[in-house]
Structure 1
Amino acid sequence: MSLQQVTDAYLDHLAVERGLSANTLAAYRRDTARYLRYLDTQRVLEPESITTHHVTGFLQAVSSGTDGGSALSARSAARTLVAVRGLHRFWLLEDLVTADVAADVAPPQPGQRLPKALSIDQVTALLEAVSTDTPAGLRDRALLEFLYSTGARISEAVGLDVDDISTAIGENPQGTDGDQRGPALVRLFGKGSKERIVPLGSYAAAALDAWLVRGRPGIVAKAGDSSRRKSTTRTATAALFVNQRGGRLSRQSAWTILQNAAERAGLDVEVSPHTLRHSFATHLLQGGADVRVVQELLGHASVTTTQVYTLVTAETLREIYASSHPRARG
């Protein structure tokens, strides 16, 4: 059988037995087609003739673009290698080859990307830039305070219902420094509906209380009146954060709220909803929190994911040392 035939058998296996989506199958088809074109340039005509050297050569070629295609980033090259590994593994299981020559080929390591975090002063300016003179302003302030206080993903925040938060606020309604009970606790539902419990700081609790008492009822009532005038049967949503029509606030709207606040605060850095999550983690670590605690608060499955934030704080320490120590630089 030709290389194309045994590769088509692999793709059929992915479609029929693995049930991969059309988009995923298309990606596998592109990656394996590029691999076969490379093998053709190496005058390799059958699976048994492929060596580990050919696999590593292909990985280097796609990373640099020397195989005639566009150069791939480390992340994209690693994805391509997944397809090649799967191909060789399938050939071994089908007794088309006697060894899996791709098994020990390591993917390229992507460069460590540091999360973008705001300084504490920048976060304060961002939050205080939101006017609370209107119901929408109360909502916007409560949303941003909640994101920074809990480190929640934007999808987790807009997915909350009133019942998810009202009890927590009631446990510590004032959020005053003199309250010995400490911050309230809030349930968040992360990826895979995994539940975690996070504290809710006093500023966020106060902002949410103001939103629930003085902001949300007015918006929901107005939306209800509008619905009745249009003779609809729509009822008010249970969502904690609602839009002007009384429906659940979308992620896109939350993004706009943050962008508007950043503009009013005069921040000259790129800001996204995830920026507040990054800032939450970075500021906790700078304040002495253990990385395992931050892992739990963020809902990371592995502490390795959380440890990227320690690189941010280490960089900050280097900057402070370099600018402050009299003999840091010659």
Structure 2
Amino acid sequence: MTESEGPGEAWSAVLAAYEQHLRAERDLSAHSVRAYLTDLESLALHAERLGVHDPRELSIRTLRSWLANLQTLGRARTTIARRATSARVFTLWLARTGRAPADAGALLASPKAHRELPVALSEVEVRGLLDTTAASLVDDGPRGLRDLAILEVLYATGIRVGELVGLDIDDLDRRRRVVRVFGKGRKERSVPYGLPASEAIELWLDRGRPSIANDSSGAAVFLGVRGSRIDQRAVRRIVHERLAAVDGAPDLGPHGLRHTAATHLLEGGADLRSVQEILGHASLGTTQIYTHVSNERLRAAYKLAHPRA
């Protein structure tokens, strides 16, 4: 059997039931469901090559063989760790629903994933980004107003690019300067933003958006050049192009501005739990990576400034 043929009948039936469970009971996004199923289809194909044609026969030995094979194929540690997590969640579901006699993945360990520290802009680089964008407003017209508002909102709130493009006008509480965001799994949170972002939003909504909007605009806050809701690719292009005009700034995308917002919040004295809520992280551990970034920057500043560093 080749990988393109997909898993056999027994595995396919169970994976179809699991997909229904993920969509209906766990309320996961289509992207997350697809990621889970891709991981488990890989497991199913490996298991069948070992003669395990029914998920009820799955064992810890088969699971470990699968992860070892992924390592042999040169898969990244992060990929292997994610697939191990997918397998553990799946085998627990198998056992709980009576589709397997026991939880085969209960003792399955994940390889420790090496976490790269996220790259963040300095405050000087952020000022350069926003100032150069603001300076181009006369030449760029509505597009410049939109780009400035996008950059200000991304940096002020730390929201994800997918959350930004999904914003509707009613999601903005313009008086209180709070934006309602629908994050992963459609979880709702409210994120404050400051006066510079507020001013950029007002300029865009009052002077920029009306000149681009048309029947396809709907309630979208940010629009593409043809008047419909802007897409993620366009926002990424905007961030890359605007950063390219800043001398010495690293080439980052929207997620880099999210990293930057989190890092600057912590460096400014915000507590970790508040930053977690602002970013919409399910786990505090995910937010803690930014404390390492702040510590690295402190160490670098110490080495530069202290006479006995």
- TM-score between the two structures when normalised by the length of structure 2: 0.77
Q: 2:189: which partner in 1?
A: 196
Q: For the Cα contact (< 8 Å) 2:119–2:259, is it kept in 1? A: yes
Amino acid corresponding to residue 40 of structure 2 in structure 1: Y
Pairing partner for 2:117 from 92, 100, 114: 114
Q: Matched residues in 2 for 1:64 and 1:320: separation?
A: 39
Aligned counterpart, 2:4: none
CA contact (8 A) 1:14 1:25 kept: no
Counterpart residue number, 2:155: 148
2:226 corresponding residue in structure 1: 245
- After superposition, the C-alpha distances for 1:94-119 in whole angstroms (9 at most, x for unaligned) are 67x7x766421311121122222111
For 1:94 and 1:146, the matched residues in 2 are separated by 47
Establish whether residue 271 from structure 1 lines up as the match of residue 252 from structure 2: yes
- The separation in 2 between residues aligned to 1:78 and 1:217, in whole angstroms, is 47
Counterpart of 1:17 in 2: which secondary structure? Answer: helix
Of 126, 131, 153 in structure 1, the residue corresponding to residue 129 of structure 2 is 126
> What is the match of residue 205 of structure 1?
198
Q: Give the 3 Å change call, closer, same or farther, for CA 11–252 of structure 1 in structure 2.
A: same
DSSP 3-state at the match of 2:303: helix
**Structure 2 Cα separation of the partners of residues 268 and 62 of structure 1:** 40
Cα distance in 1, alignment partners of residues 231 and 67 from structure 2: 43
Which amino acid in 2 is paired with 1:129?
T
* Alpha-carbon distance in 2 for matches of 1:22, 1:306: 25
| 1:72 matches 2:60 | no
CA distance change for structure 1 residues 186 and 81 in 2, over 3 Å: closer, same or farther? closer
The 3-state SS of whatever aligns with 1:188 is: strand
Aligned to 1:136: 143
The correspondence of residues 309-328 of structure 1 with structure 2, limited to 5 A, is 309-328=290-309
1:9 is displaced (CA, Å) by 7.0
Assess if the C-alpha contact under 8 Å between 2:179 and 2:190 holds in 1: yes
Partner of 1:215: 208
Rounded Cα–Cα distance in structure 2 between residues aligned with 1:151 and 1:88: 34
| 8 Å contact kept, 1:164–1:187 | yes
Farther-moved stretch of structure 1 (114-123 vs 208-217): 208-217
State the partner residue of 1:282: 263
Equivalent residue, structure 2, for 1:4: none
Hey, what does 1:181 align to over in structure 2? none
Give percent identity, aligned residues only. Answer: 38
Tell me how far apart the structure 1 counterparts of residues 157 and 86 of structure 2 sit (CA, whole Å): 38
> Where does the alignment leave 5 or more consecutive residues of structure 2 unmatched?
1-6, 21-32
Aligned residue for 2:179, secondary structure, equals strand
- Indicate if the aligned counterparts of 1:32 and 1:83 stay in contact, CA closer than 8 A: no
CA contact (8 A) 1:62 1:77 kept: no
Q: Residue 74 of structure 1 aligns to which amino acid in structure 2?
A: R
- The alpha carbon displacement at 1:30 in A equals 3.1
Q: Which amino acid letter does the alignment assign opposite residue 111 of structure 2? A: P
Which residue matches 1:14? Answer: 14
Secondary structure in 2 matching 1:307: helix
Map 1:31-50 to 2 at 5 A.
31-35=43-47, 37=49
Relative to structure 1, the CA distance from residue 74 to residue 206 in structure 2 (aligned partners, 3 Å threshold; closer, same or farther) is: same
TM-score (norm: length of structure 1):
0.73
Q: By how many angstroms is 1:262 displaced? A: 1.0
Q: Structure 1 residues 323 and 62, CA, compared in 2 at 3 Å: closer, same or farther?
A: farther
Match of residue 28, structure 1, among 40, 45, 51: 40
Distance 1:49 1:237 in 2: 52
Aligned-partner Cα distance in 2 for 1:303–1:218: 43
In structure 2, distance between residues paired with 1:157 and 1:22: 23
Matching residue of 2:240: 259
Classify 1:326/1:294 alpha carbon distance in 2 versus 1 (closer, same or farther; 3 Å): same
Number of matched pairs = 285
- Report SS of the residue matched to 1:28: helix
Amino acid of the structure 1 residue aligned with 2:259:
H
Cα distance, 1:267–1:154 mapped onto 2, change above 3 Å: farther
What per-residue deviation string (whole Å, max 9, x for no partner) do you get for residues 54-112 of structure 1?
Answer: 458626732541xxxx12222332345457655698599567x7x76642131112112
Q: Is the 8 A contact 1:187 1:198 kept in 2?
A: yes
CA spacing shift, 1:16–1:275, aligned 2, 3 Å: closer
